[in-house]
Amino acid sequence: MTFWTAAFWRAAAERAVKSFAYSLLGMLGGGVTNIVEMPWLSAAKVAAGVAVISVLGSIVSSSATGGGPSLTNAEELPPPAPEPGADERLVQPSNGISDGGGVMGG
């Protein structure tokens, strides 16, 4: 599994959105009691940075494990669907004539 699949990006986006929300909630609970006075622009910048770090972490995890956006492979993504017509390319000739590409040279 590489990070070139839609399943990987869905999982990474979910992690990034959660990280964004958690960091906003953390800043809200970090001393700001009046939601109107919270520095929203600063909070959004920090949360966006956390989301970017989350996506980068997912890419690094996928590169290290090859199994998805998790370092522990706790989340395994389904394998990508085969390309249309891929089965046709794998069919061997049925007439018994080799194309010369065998182990013994044909």
* Contact yes or no for 81/50 (Cβ under 8 A): no
Q: Reply yes or no on whether the pLDDT at 13 is more than 80.
A: yes
- Hey, where are the domains in the chain? 8-73
The residue-averaged pLDDT of 7-17 equals 90
3-class SS of residue 102: coil
pLDDT band at 46; cut points 50, 70, 90: very high
pLDDT tens-digit series, residues 47-97: 999 999 999 998 888 877 776 777 766 666 666 667 676 555 555 555 555
Task: Decide: 28 and 42 in contact? Cβ < 8 Å.
Answer: no
pLDDT at 96: 56
For 77, list phi and psi in degrees, rounded to 5: -85, 150
In the predicted model, is pLDDT for residue 31 greater than 70? no
